[in-house]
């Protein structure tokens, strides 16, 4: 969380080159030396944390249904990679066929302390208790240990309530408030000061803010991470403005 470092956050893994939120995408993101692996987490019907973006499995697997209504055993039967080969034939690889929806535990067991984790509590109002399960799992693998570098794990959410619940578990874990429709203009400072009461930074869509917004956020004491930036030109622009990092699908294409 060094404000002097411009972070490259692998959005859903290396999701231009591999099927999002699969072990293939996370392994490639590590290989490409992303600063963070971004992991969206939801709970299966039997309350296991799984890595998937949508509330349903329809878009990124060969199945259909709501994640929260499916047992882990059902989710594990799905092919989470073949869709990518069909949609992006230029990036297709045989190894992507049959990729599975990973659990957060599987991701942590594979990478351990060798990577940094940027975890989103996805739709927590639809995943009651996700914060409790997340905190317990992070503790189980000692990823919140004070001996680790600050920011080994970052938690983000669009939900203020979810972040505040995480804060009740830990006073030190870095929290990032995602803003879909950021308040800009004269009222920006007031909103950013509200966020600063419980979070250390914001994550927001770069096309919905301006230079003054970044300046104000920094004056308030917030880090600014922007999504989703997939070109070096745009990354360079916002780095010059003062942003602290980007979420990107295209890790090689945003190196500056």
Report which of 95, 113, 106 is spatially closest to residue 52, judged by C-alpha positions: 106
> Considering only CA atoms, which of 31, 6, 96, 29 is closest in space to residue 60?
96
73: Cβ contacts below 8 Å, ≥ 6 apart: none
Dump the DSSP string for 102-124: PBHHHHHHHHGGGS-EEEEE-SG
Q: Which residue has the tokens 């639809």?
A: 126
The span from the CA of 61 to the CA of 80, in Å, is 4
The torsion angles phi and psi of 175, rounded to 5 degrees, stand at -115, 135
Tally Cβ neighbours within 10 Å of residue 171.
Answer: 6
* CA distances for 88 relative to 81, 92, 225, angstroms: 11, 6, 28
Angle, in degrees to the nearest 10, between helices 130-140 and 104-111: 20
Provide the annotated active-site residues: 11, 53
Please answer whether residues 156 and 123 qualify as being in contact, where contact means their C-beta atoms are separated by less than 8 angstroms: no
């Amino acid at each position: 969380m060094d404000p002097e470092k411009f972070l490259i956050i692998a959005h859903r893994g290396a999701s231009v080159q591999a099927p999002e939120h699969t072990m293939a995408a996370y392994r490639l993101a590590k290989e490409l030396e992303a600063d963070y692996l971004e992991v969206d987490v939801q709970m299966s019907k039997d309350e296991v944390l799984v890595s998937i973006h949508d509330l349903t499995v329809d878009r990124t697997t060969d199945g259909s249904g709501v994640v929260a209504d499916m047992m882990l055993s059902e989710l594990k039967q799905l092919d989470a990679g073949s869709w990518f080969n069909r949609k992006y034939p230029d990036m297709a690889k045989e190894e992507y066929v049959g990729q599975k929806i990973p659990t957060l535990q599987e991701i942590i067991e594979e990478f351990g302390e060798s990577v940094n984790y940027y975890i989103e509590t996805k739709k927590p109002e639809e995943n009651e208790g996700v914060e409790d399960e997340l905190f317990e799992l992070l503790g189980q693998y000692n990823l919140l240990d004070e001996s680790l570098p600050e920011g080994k794990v970052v938690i983000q959410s669009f939900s203020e309530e979810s972040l505040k619940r995480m804060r009740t578990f830990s006073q030190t874990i870095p929290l990032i408030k995602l803003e879909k429709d950021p308040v800009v203009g004269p009222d920006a400072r007031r909103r950013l000061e509200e966020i600063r009461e419980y979070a250390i930074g914001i994550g927001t869509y770069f096309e919905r803010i301006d230079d003054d917004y970044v300046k104000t956020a920094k004056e308030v004491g917030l880090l600014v991470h922007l999504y989703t930036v997939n070109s070096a030109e745009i990354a360079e622009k916002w780095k010059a403005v003062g942003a602290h990092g980007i979420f990107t699908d295209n890790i090689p294409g945003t190196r500056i």
